[in-house]
Amino acid sequence: MENGCEKDKILLMSVGELNMGTGLVDRYINIERKKIYGVLYYIAMIIYLPMMLCSISYLQPELGESGMRLLHHARIVAYLILLFIVGDTALRDLLTGLRNKSFLSPGQLVLMLALFISVVSAYISKKSEAFVIMLIIAAAIDVKPDTRKLFALIAAMQFASIPVFWYLTVRGVLPDSQEYAVDLMRHSFGFAYVTFAPMLQLFISMEYIYFRNIRKISLTELGILLDINIVLYKYCKSRNSMLIFTVVFAAALLYKLVPDVIDRVIALLSKFMGLLMALIFAVSFIGPYIFTHFYKGDVSRGLGSIAARFYLSYEAMQRYRVITLFGQKIDWEAPLLSSNKDGYVFVDNAYLHGLLDFGIIYFILMLLIYMVILRIFRQRKEFMNYFMIVMILCLSVIDPRLWVLVFNPFPMLISEGYEEMIAEISAQLKKRGKSSVVSSR
């Protein structure tokens, strides 16, 4: 009798412990995280972006060894915050799945796979940005922030860096300019390269158009953006950023004057997106071979010229393996803060650069993110935003900023429609699965 009572007590204790464990899991799953995630994500970005802006300026070496260590530790804090968001979301999703006798949801499974690929690519290439950028994008997908507010914050931080670094050059704290050719003085405003300030302003301008909304932005605001870009072009002589801004500005101006016409024109042009990408890839990967075969001029004098960029792309494709699964370790000879550019070996083409560094799988992930963003804007009929993404894709043939968030935060916009896309793909797969079962019967 006593043995029976003891067994009952043990059973009751086991059931109680099980219920307690289940209760803790339920409590953990049901914790409201949206506000916490949002605050943490903004904190991480407020830490990350200024630190990265410092890293592309002459301020970084001026801080000395202790200052560099401080920047490094600050970035680690930002990464840990982002890892907490992504890890906590994945764990919550896993526990929910196990409770329902399943695994991770399709959306989380894809995110974890993308992060795994980025970790492998970062390890093999010895370049941490492969993982860091994917981590920031994954956290944005989990948080689902108001991207217009987020882009307003990013643009504000980016824009603030230009007058701050300029002021430091006036005070003599940072060097002001670099002379690349006879009678050509191009001001750097404290940045590591003379093209950085105008290129940063180009992306700030597009971010401004995005978060202000082309339908609400005034002609005065567009005029101010034009003036700022012209001033930076005057002192920095960055042709590429000014060219792309001119095209974006013209499209925005026409949009204000004849919005319906521009909507129809861009909607029509969007049907040729596949052809445009084929042309971009042809110029990126076949163009250097054709150019080098026919062009016999000297490319050593103008490293920013199209000729030099084709030549450097050809040299890189000869030196390194173009197609790898997860990338390779390449020490590009383009020291940001060195005045000696004689050993310059760097690929400015973002497509070739990404493929060489991170491999074909990561490269496909990069492109898929942009394709999803284009799809989101097309479905919402936000054709000015669609056009700006197309301009970024075109610019990336001669510029490496396709995948550099400190300049270009637009890849984060995938958070706008990621869940909808995954749900749509899952529904299509289920439909095909049912159809195949019926046909097999």
> What is the Cα–Cα distance from 25 to 92, expressed in whole angstroms?
9
**Helix or strand run (H / E) with residue 8:** helix 2-30
Average pLDDT over the chain, rounded to whole?
87
Provide the residue type at 322 as one letter.
V
> What is the Cα–Cα distance from 232 to 305, expressed in whole angstroms?
19
> Which range is least confidently modeled, 53-67, 69-83, 401-415?
53-67
Strand partners, 184: 181
**Terminal Cα-to-Cα distance of the chain (whole angstroms):** 59
Q: What's the residue count for the chain? A: 441
Residue 304 confidence (pLDDT) above 50: yes
Please report which confidence band the pLDDT of residue 18 belongs to, taking 50, 70 and 90 as the band edges. very low
Q: What are the residue ranges of helices labelled H in 56-188? A: 59-62, 64-99, 106-125, 129-143, 147-170
Instruction: Give per-residue pLDDT as tens, 37-54.
Output: 999 999 999 999 999 999
Please report which confidence band the pLDDT of residue 179 belongs to, taking 50, 70 and 90 as the band edges. low
Instruction: Give per-residue pLDDT as tens, 73-129.
Output: 999 999 999 999 999 999 988 888 887 777 888 899 999 999 999 999 999 999 999
Please report which confidence band the pLDDT of residue 332 belongs to, taking 50, 70 and 90 as the band edges. confident
> What is the Cα–Cα distance from 42 to 140, expressed in whole angstroms?
10
> What is the Cα–Cα distance from 287 to 389, expressed in whole angstroms?
23
> What is the Cα–Cα distance from 185 to 179, expressed in whole angstroms?
5
Listed in sequence order, the residues at least 6 apart from 417 whose beta carbon sits closer than 8 Å to its beta carbon are 372, 373, 375, 376, 379
